Amino acid sequence: MTPAGWILMIACWAVIVYWTFWCFRRVLVSKRHWTNPEDDITQLRHGEFGDDPKE
Amino acid sequence: MAKRERWASRIGVILAMAGNAIGLGNFLRFPVQAAQNGGGAFMIPYFVALLIFGIPLAWCEWAMGRLGGTNRHGSSPGVLGMLWKHPAAKYLGALGICLPLGVLIYYLYVESWTLSYSFFSVLWDFMGKTTMADMKSFLTDYQGVETKAGVTVMAYVFFLLTVGANYWIMSGGIAKGIERLARIGMPALLLLAVVLVARVFTLAPPDPAHPENSVVNGLGFVWNPDLASLRSAKVWLAAAGQVFFTLSVGFGSIQCYASYMRRRDDIVVTGLSSSVLNEFVEVILGASIAIPAAYVFFGHAGTVEIAKSGSFNLGFVAMPAIFQQMPGGAVFGLFWFFLLFIAGLTSSVALAQPAIAFLQDELGWSHKRSLRSVWIFLVLAGHVPILGLAAGALDEMDFWAGTIGLALFALIESIVFIWIFGAQRAWDEIHIGAEERIPRVFFYILKYVTPVALLAILIAWGWQQGADVISMKGVDPAQRAWRWAARALLLGMIATTCWLIRRAWSRKQEAGP
């Protein structure tokens, strides 16, 4: 690999890793996790998700 | 009125959206595109396209979808009809259903190859087939392209198994089906990809006489920049195409997923997180597995040939040949193909959801009825790319639905949302509930740069290749019937969707406000 290849690879990786950690840190420290209090999905089985619209 | 489904959690929606974006293209298409288009220099137009098309358009689609969801519109006809009070708007939205469905018709078949190859890896069916020619012959024998029927029983059974797996997941709905798949599948995918990268990075050159066939030089094959390539329009178009494809913008599936959010749920950080996770998988993990491994075992000249022969050859021909020459190859082969299967599965459920949401939200069908109707159609329509594989029916569908269609629908979305709905209203809509402000420069990018660049790409394509592609110049006459069948299928889907839209809106008018 040429020096230019190393520089490009490391620069791209650094930008993406920094960006990823920034985003996920922002999401994980946020108090807004949106777990919907109206729908307790832990009580549902596969295929159950409330009423369908009437046909 | 029954309550509309919602995502259960924020991390679930990020993983589901990332799963929508992360597909076979991250591991197969991206490294080939980078290697063919200037190596590391490809990353310059790639990042430019990411900033001026990819991420801004993704934010637009998130905002349009969330707004549509508040009015029980989960698919593009309803969303565009809300944003633009013109009778034509809802018909333009037909593309937001037909493009993902058109891609899904052939994607399910390709996804089924990843499932079958996972089994073949465990059963060691490739045993002794260490050359590219042997593996190519294994693939064509499996697909049955040279048989009278055009498909083998084995390939057909795996296609049906894949269709069944997708159906089972979708039958769980949004939170219990798609979100649960993302919560399990995405961490598994990341883990498998990291294990494979670690294995590739510890590979020693198999032939001591050729120490230059190393992983570092394999990475160099992907990353060494050919700066002269930046002067080629083809490289810039390839980068833009890759960004569209990888982020799934212009498909309508982001809109659809976002419609299951609540009005004040953040989309700025959430949307960025899913896009960035996709980039992590594509640029860091995707580029570090297949091409570097191919370089170690086939050397520079062999890897050039593999890159030229395209993504499918890299994934289904070169990689199985490599795993046979690698210690623990059966296990790593299983990891590779199962990784591709998970990536395919999380994308295919996203491609199906806009059609299901349309039938539920606009025609008032039950989830079960919508799901069954879409799946019956998929199985029947799937015979076009399956039986016409050798004649290029799959490539034809990929070109119209998965390439040109994306740019066209992204342009429509961008004009309707930014220019008709209003740039400032669109900007405000994106920022409802936002945890971060988007830098103002993106307002001008969205307003001017994105639509102009999209229009320029479409005009340049029409000018340079449009007539030749439409008239199938240079295509073997024996292949034309299947290619026309693929085109007729896509046109028929658009016509049928427009008819269903008309029916749905007439029904709503009759029902009154």
DSSP of B487-506:
HHHHHHHHHHHHHHHHHHHH
Map B147-187 to HEC letters: CCCCCCHHHHHHHHHHHHHHHHHHCCHHHHHHHHHHHHHHH
Size of interface A-B (CB pairs under 8 A): 139
CB contact under 8 A, A27 and B173: no
Length of chain A: 55
Q: Tell me which chain B residue has its CA closest to the CA of residue A3.
A: B224
Q: What is the pLDDT of residue B5?
A: 85
Task: Please report the ipTM that was assigned to this predicted complex.
Answer: 0.88
Pick from A2, A12, A34: CB nearest B10: A34
pLDDT tens-digit readout, A10-27:
999 999 999 999 998 988
Q: What is the pLDDT of residue A35?
A: 54
Q: Give, in order, the Cα–Cα distances in Å from B279 to each of B181, B245, B258, B305.
A: 20, 12, 20, 26
Please indicate if any CB of chain B lies within 8 Å of the CB of A29.
no
Residues B135-165 as b/e (b if ≥16 CB within 10 A, e otherwise) read bbebbeebbbbeeeebbeeebbebbeebbeb
* CA proximity to B56, closest of B341, B414, B322: B414
d(CA B179, CA B202) in angstroms, rounded, equals 35
CB contact under 8 A, B368 and A52: yes
CB contact under 8 A, A13 and B43: no
- Contact predicate B332/B323, CB 8 Å: yes
Mutation target vs A (from B176, B358, B507; most A CBs, 10 A cutoff): B176
Q: What is the pLDDT of residue B2?
A: 63
- Crossing angle of helices B329-361 and B95-123, rounded to 10°: 160
Q: What is the pLDDT of residue A50?
A: 42
pLDDT tens-digit readout, B86-127:
999 999 999 999 999 999 999 999 999 999 999 999 887 777
Q: What is the pLDDT of residue A36?
A: 53
Q: What is the pLDDT of residue B216?
A: 95
d(CA B5, CA B8) in angstroms, rounded, equals 9
pLDDT surpasses 80 at A46 = no
Mean pLDDT by 10 residues, chain B (513 residues): 78 93 92 84 90 93 94 94 94 96 96 95 81 90 87 95 97 91 95 95 89 93 88 83 88 94 89 96 94 92 88 91 87 94 96 96 94 97 95 92 89 95 94 91 94 89 86 90 96 98 92 71
d(CA B419, CA B401) in angstroms, rounded, equals 25
